Structure 1
């Protein structure tokens, strides 16, 4: 396998997850079993894989080729010559101050939830930091 083959694989995955080759009249059937088509069987619409899934495939191939090089099954790792698709940029949407106040107020209906929610909102601690808290830390 060479770089051109991998590039074409990634391009195909970005085009359609079922590798349809844009065939006319292709139908997405409601079941793989034999059946009579009805309104649930629709004309095929190409649906690409997400860039995250393609990145996973890229890193699996890279690791597999690394093993192949180590075991001398292949001479070089062509996946190292290809850049993985860009990672999706995070889009955090924290609550507004008014929404945060409502959340804390609602959590205090149960003191067992009120204190952890209030602590999280006021300190800005991450989930792992909160999970690491112990009574001996106080």
Structure 2
């Protein structure tokens, strides 16, 4: 199995590739050892997924000092299944294997979650508490874009006269630091801003300009 490595498609984002690399390193290669890909079958894979759901360390269920079983989520286990299936599919295309046994295995069912958003009173208390720090309050106020999109915003992306915010890019954490990438929805999109949001952003910009004046520099439209 260790000889069949999943080659990630070029259109995958850098963060997705890093995540897949981690899943391969942590959960696929260690238990596979010197197992040959041809030795895999649907039963073996489904037992493997079931064990991951009990404990990500693949322990035998016996209590031991310093160990607490932590199951993998079904979404993570499904990703592992897709990685293995993709690796074996490539091996079939390259004629290293005759059959992709992972195609016969059943991926773990996704877990359904029940969202529990805050009520109107809770949201109001949260926002009021956040405004003790103006930057933090403004971040929570901008609930339209995602967090990574908000952190990638620059002043040039805001049209104060028309009340429009253009979302171009998104920031994502990587092992090497923060990387700017395309947004999850693809092309740039425009969000309409209400008068209160425009006023808050104007105040935020003026606060930034005042800080720059104190330092003897000019606030650039290319900064957040």
Pick from 66, 71, 89 the counterpart of residue 66 of structure 1. 89
- Within the candidate set 17, 26, 29, 2:65 is matched to 29
Deviation, 1:70, is 1.8
CA apart distance, 1:53: 3.4
In the TM superposition, residue 48 of structure 1 has moved relative to its aligned partner by 4.6
- Partners of 1:110 and 1:12 lie apart in 2 by 46
Greater percentage in strand: 2
Q: Which residue in the other structure is 2:41 paired with? A: 2
Q: Note the alpha carbon deviations across 1:13-35, whole angstroms, 9 max, x for none.
A: 44554342x6xxx55134xxxxx
Residue in structure 1 matching 2:127, options 73, 86, 104: 104
| RMSD over aligned Cα atoms | 3.1
Contact 2:51 2:58 in 1 (8 A): no
Answer 1 or 2: higher relative contact order, Cα 8 Å, separation at least 6. Answer: 1
Return 5+ residue gaps in structure 1 as ranges.
31-43
Deviation sequence 1:40-97 (CA, Å, 0-9, x none)? xxxx886654323322321121111012112111012111122211122233222111
CA contact (8 A) 2:43 2:105 kept: no
Q: Give the SS at the match of 2:127.
A: helix
C-alpha distance in 2 between matches for 1:8 and 1:58: 12
Q: 1:116 to 1:53 in 2, by over 3 A?
A: closer
Cα distance in 2 for partners of 1:103, 1:27 equals 42
1:50/1:119 CA distance change after superposition, 3 Å: closer
Q: Which runs of 5+ in 2 are unaligned?
A: 1-39, 166-224
TM-score normalised to the size of structure 1?
0.63
Alignment of 1:58-137 (within 5 A): 58-120=81-143, 125-127=144-146, 131=150, 134-136=157-159, 137=164
